[in-house]
Chains A and B, each alone.
Chain A
Amino acid sequence: MAACSFQSITKSFGPTPVLRGVSLSIADGEFLTLLGPSGCGKSTLLRILAGLEVQDAGSVSIGERAVDGLRPKRRDVAMVFQSYALYPHMTVASNVALPLRMRRLSAFQRFPLLGRLLPGTARTAAEIDVEVTRTCKSLGIGHLLDRKPGQLSGGQRQRVAVGRAMVRHPAVFLMDEPLSNLDAKLRVQMRAEIKELHQRLGVTFIYVTHDQAEAMTLSDRVAVMLEGELLQVAPPQVIYADPDDRRVAEFIGSPKINMFDGVVREHGLIDVAGSTLAIEVDALAGAPLTLGIRPEAFHLADHGGPGALTGSVRMVEHIGSDLFVHLDLAGVDHPLVARLLAERAPHIAPGQDLHLRVFPDRVLLFTRDGRRLRRRVESGRASVTPIRELAR
């Protein structure tokens, strides 16, 4: 078990910067997810921790120990790969046993054929067998020990990959998109199993994914990455409800958060999309900003006017309990998407005009360059830009 930390890691592949100074600390026993779109550098960060990739600058430590320059096997980490990377010519048992063989048998004892004749090889091999069997049984693949990976289903392969990682009790568990090769149903099931595994083992998990549902359900904390930068590291609910950055707000949540450019009219009022919303804002008149409103922050209003957004319905999507209404607003080039409770919303048809109101405390304010503006200083947060500075 160990805490991990990255200090100002940078990495480029050729001329392309992949990581631009990433610093991150992960507590002992924490489940941390690196979340971001393809190519954001999250896998590279994980591979640097594992020692499969060497950073250009910065340092990595596991436990109290700087591990820069250590080979992967000396770092006490285990990894589950996206493709599982099982050795196709070996049985399940041999796959799971390999990390133990490499650690407990000397190079001579591992030598093909001849190694078996050396003293001690047989005894160590028997011990390894016992542990492998125990591990596989605990994962429900005890009956598959003699199969080859090619004969297994996707879920079973995944379990073998997990077994190979956990058999040697690593300090840190690394997982690189381990569920992306499974079908949707199995993915949900394996997600629950991974969560259980983490609770059972109690060691540090670092999990890479581009799937926000996985990140939200599994993690103690989520680290959102974009273009080689860490944008925010926080518990899932905070990432969703209280993002630090416009890009985080836009990446998390489906359908996507609505973004409108607005201008402060006077204290407490903001002009946006042809309307004026009453939102507590401590800024001078004329300050430009961007409002982020999640689809579920809207509710239906009977009439338009100040405080309501009015537009014509472009499209309605029913998803059962809720419906998504796409609304064209005057002077805004992209439609507003609102999530309304199906039972509360009367029959809404495309073409009709609709009035929506917003819960003011659920509107997220951003500067035009994407930084979050918070209305009042929350305890323990220093990253708030005083809003007065803006109007200057």
Chain B
Amino acid sequence: MSASTSTPHLPAYAAILRHAVLLVTGALVLIPFVWMVSLSVKPPGEIFRAHFSLWPSQFYGVENYTKALTEAPLLRYMGNGLIVCTLILGLQIIVCAPCAYALAKLRFAGRDLLHGLVLIGLLLPHQVLSLPLFILCYQLGILNTYAALVFPYVVSPFGIFLFRQFFKAIPDDVVHAARLDGLSELAIIWRIMVPMALPAVIAFSIFSVVGHWNDLFWPLIAVRDQSLMPPPLGIMAFKNEEAGNDYGPLMAASTLVVLPLVIAFLAAQKWFVEGLAKGAVK
């Protein structure tokens, strides 16, 4: 009976105004991207000319991008980013999902205490802990390795929190039925709960990957070798080496670093928005 959700019908002038304002703000928001791409295809001469055009009169993209890929180990950086993000995400899910299941579906002494600990962990900004974590990595002898980039993140209080919320929403009867069917607790987690909470897993994955791909703070502390640097740290090193003067290749490198997430975002916009909005509680 209430088949209607009256959708806003703007008068024509208001609709036009809406588009006009949004197009202007959208264009303003996009300027840094446009400028970056524009510089990345210009030859040095045109970049330093005192008038601007979006498209170069002499297309210099090939040279700039080649230079970005050869003078800095850009692909290596991105590979590092991929390795680190994948390892972190995989470990986080492996560590967090069982804990979240215990918190959501099992009764045991100390459950509230454990949940409290998770909430406290959720509240602690990771940067505050960087000094002891640095010392810890030093003691373990893993500084300047992939392990140092991954280790501090193997548990995510936010992951536990989010998974617990989703697991709690799954009826207890599902767990009971699975036990009657002879599944072990681990099998219940990996074959029942996680697949049923797939939206949470996807949201968390996006949150985690975006966060760690873009992170500069910890890699700056944890690694020195160029061959280990994830993209943000790598591109910063590239900028410092070039002293920021060779804009074309620098912009090309920036474009390449930004590109993977932007493409993923445009392909799965809804999931990204949802996943990152959920991360607001973090």
Contact = CB atoms under 8 A, between A and B. Distances in A.
Contacts of A13: 3-4
Contacts of B2: 43, 82, 176
Contact of B1 (A16, A42, A53): A42
A214 interface: no
B6 interface: yes
A336 interface: no
Nearest to A82: B2
A40 B1 CA distance: 6
A386 interface: no
A52 B6 contact: yes
Interface string B1-31: 1111010000000000000000000000000
Nearest to A16: B3
A47 interface: yes
A43 B5 CA distance: 12
Interface residue tally of chain A, by bracket? Answer: 10 to 19
A18 interface: yes
Contacts of A208: 1
A168 interface: no
A11 to B, nearest CB: 9
Contacts of A47: 4
Contacts of B4: 13, 18, 43-44, 47, 53
B6 A44 contact: no
B6 A53 contact: yes
A39 B1 CA distance: 4
A39 B3 contact: yes
A18 B3 CA distance: 9
Interface string A27-71: 000000000101111111001000011000000000000000000
A41 B3 CA distance: 8
Contacts of B1: 36, 38-44, 177, 208, 210
Contacts of B6: 52-53
A41 B1 CA distance: 6
22 contacts: A13-B3, A16-B3, A18-B3, A18-B4, A36-B1, A39-B1, A39-B3, A40-B1, A41-B1, A43-B1, A43-B2, A43-B3, A43-B4, A44-B1, A44-B3, A44-B4, A53-B4, A53-B6, A82-B2, A177-B1, A208-B1, A210-B1
Interface of B: 1-4, 6
Given A39-B1, A44-B1, A52-B6, 14 more contacts: A13-B3, A13-B4, A16-B3, A18-B4, A36-B1, A38-B1, A39-B3, A41-B1, A43-B3, A43-B4, A53-B4, A53-B6, A177-B1, A210-B1
